[in-house]
Amino acid sequence: MAKSVEEVRAEIPFLRTGTIYLDNAATTPTPQPVIDAMLEYFSEYSGNIGRGLHRVTRRASEAFEKTREKLARVINAKPGEIAYAKNTTEAINIVARGLKLRKGDKVVATVLEHHSNLLPWQRLERERGVKLELVQVSRECLIDPAAVEAAIDDKTRLITTHHVSNAVGSIQPVEEIGKLARERGVLYLIDAAQSVGHMPVDVRKLGCDFLAAPGHKGLLGPQGTGFLYAREDRLAELEPLLVGGGVVELVEEHKYDLVKPPQIFDAGTPNIPGFIGLGRACEYVLDIGVEQIAKRERKLTEQMLDISGFERVEVYGPHELKRRGSVVSFNISGLGHHDVASMLDELARIAVRSGHHCAQPTMHHLGVEGTVRASVHYYNLEQEIEKFTTTLEQIARELGG
């Protein structure tokens, strides 16, 4: 049976501080079972992985590797298709640096991408002469697959888009874009930072070649963890971002042979306790049920969207609830976004994000410098959202204009 909201809240120590935490798009608080899994590693088998035959390193290695299986279950992949990374940014960079793109090759992205899915391609544009084309989007921040198709030419090697906008919450038609990519023989990378753990994600159904996601957002895992899914036949095409200890089969004075994927991406000592914790977090999310998480987040998001009816409040992103993730981005006329966020914190201990959300081209598209962003997860309460909306209405009424 799925874990209830009350059970989950009771297992998140951070919530005992009394903070109404609506900044889940940045990072989520960690449940006690995830913390316990990491403490167990430190207390009982705090050894390195793959560097010895004693029982401590054997246990650590086994626990570390099992997380691939658990991540694979979450997104319907194979364990051998999961490469570890410290975050979504690193996972995207593994693809950007590892594909060996050359001058004249083309990458298609959109103006809505998080900086993590924009800067790696801009660097290739600057360093290697790779062409980057950014597709324009609707006022509601939705991607039109036809616009993506129009940007594809015979030089296009890769399409990359986000699944859910971190800035405004728009859910993109990634399945349609994946179908386009397959039909045109182009690789497709999805930035799933705001979808994995929040909603069902099936890489087979999406038809993507690569998918990057963090451990510390929807999956309720620790910071400093993330992963790259790469389809089995694509993983071997990627050069590892790092080489060094822990990934070699043979080293001579002037040559080396590396291990096979996915372990080829684990150079150096990785975040062993973090990935063990991430494995437990995957189990935790699956115990709740991803469908249940998505259903509850949709309900909470609908409640948050009451603010769109408030005088002086402008909400950005799609009007239709089915096109929205668990993010609501807004401004109050006459007030700076940072000021609004500070007032929510001071008046009601409500934590939200303000700024450009590492998505400055998105802000340019909206014609603003930044927004206030509220984002929920399964554990949030209707009473918390009510407190948020009533406090925001008071701020808009008394100070906006």
364 Cα distance to chain centroid:
22
Question: Cβ contacts of residue 137 below 8 Å, gap of 6+?
Answer: 110, 111, 112, 143, 144, 147, 365
Count CB atoms within 10 A of the CB of residue 295.
12
The catalytically annotated residue of 141, 208, 282, 358 is 358
CA-CA distance, 106 to 153, in Å (whole number)?
A: 8
List residues bridging with 106 in a β-sheet: 131, 156
Specify whether the CB–CB gap between 228 and 241 falls below 8 A: no
Catalytic residue list contains 358: yes
Contact predicate 339/333, CB 8 Å: no
Q: State yes or no: cis peptide before 262, omega within 30 of 0.
A: yes
CA 218, CA 30: separation in Å to the nearest integer?
11
Q: Which residues lie below 8 Å from residue 206, measured CB to CB, with a gap of 6+?
A: 174, 175, 178, 190
Phi-psi region of 246 (alpha: psi -120 to 50; beta: other; left: phi over 0): left
The token pair that represents 289 in the structure block: 């049920």
Residue 356, classed as helix, strand or coil, is coil
132 φ, ψ to 5°? -110, 120
The residues annotated with a catalytic role in the active site are 358
